[in-house]
Structure 1
Amino acid sequence: MNTFDEKNLFVSIQQGDVKAFEKLFKTYYGYLCSFATKILNNPDSAEEIVQEFFVKFWERRSDLSIETSLKNYLFRSVKNLCLNHIKHNNIKLQHAKTVLAETEMQPFNNSYVEVHLADDIAKSIEELPEKRREIFRLSREEGLKYREIAEKLNLSVKTVEAQMGLAIKSLRDKLKKYNTFLFYFLFAKIKKA
């Protein structure tokens, strides 16, 4: 896509042209996911970051000002989001180490907290709407990629992405009373199971 085409596409997107946005998404989504995967070494996190980027890009389209080429803007934005993700995970890891050190000194039973968290996770998953729950389980418990889920359930990949985003947001909201580290620790265990 040349610079002239990019500028016209961006102007159309700023004016709310959904087809122009879909063209941008289809043109760059795969490249951005590959790029983010190289930075993060985690395809799932890379996909989530790219999806969240496109959602925010669309939401803020009328306020955006792009000085460089649109392609450069997309890749630079995703790179920054990946670096922020790494930094955030490092902070969470530091916090987790601190929490673990503190809990080892406390007399309460950690497995009690884990059992309640696991129960609450299972309950929260059950409370998801039926289709969203099915998509979530296929992704997290069976390890299917969004494309595979879309094919299996005869849905569009965008629908699967949107439903996964809503499922994760719902679970985070319902389980926010738990320590973040324990949530992610057990969530990862469930995903592998």
Structure 2
Amino acid sequence: MMPTCNLYTDSELMDLLKEDNADAFTEIYRRYAKLLYQHAFSILKDRDETKEIIQEVFTSLWNKRMNCDIEASLSGYLYMAVRYQVLKIYAHRRVRRDHLAVCKDSLHVYDTVLPDYLIRERQLQHIIDREIDQLPKKMRQVFNMSRKEHLSYKEIAHQLALSEGTVKTQIRNALKILRCRLDAFLYTLLIFFFL
């Protein structure tokens, strides 16, 4: 570093910086980094975010050094750059907070809807079971072996000493009866909910 760099004014340092003088940049960093860090940290209260801001401000200054026309004071420029970065972080935090709030609200709605959905599902299952119980005894037995025990037509026929055709007919008839009864119930339910 040039021995006299710390004696230059901010304006002189900026002139040297425009000439690609790395020592001038180092002196600017030495003069302002700590003060800018304290300023940003007093607002953000987060060391990592504050470090990122300071790095961003000085990286930007270095990258724009050739075209940087600071009409006001260098310190004012740097403080404004830090303030802009702080505002960006606040905006990002607000977006994240709003997003989390929306997610939380969605989960709350889901929590209230899910139990209601489960209650309706149980009620519907109870109605279906009641309708199955009203089927003729042999038809009910064949139907339950097929749908609840997951046996094939052949296995049911073997266990009940029936033909596979009879098993198939019993299940087809059971489904027709249940469809008719449940269609009437669902139709009534739809009318109740939408009128």
Structure with higher Rg: it is: 2
TM-score of the aligned structures, taking structure 1 as reference length: 0.49
Higher RCO structure (Cα 8 Å, ≥6 apart) = 1
TM-score of the aligned structures, taking structure 2 as reference length: 0.49
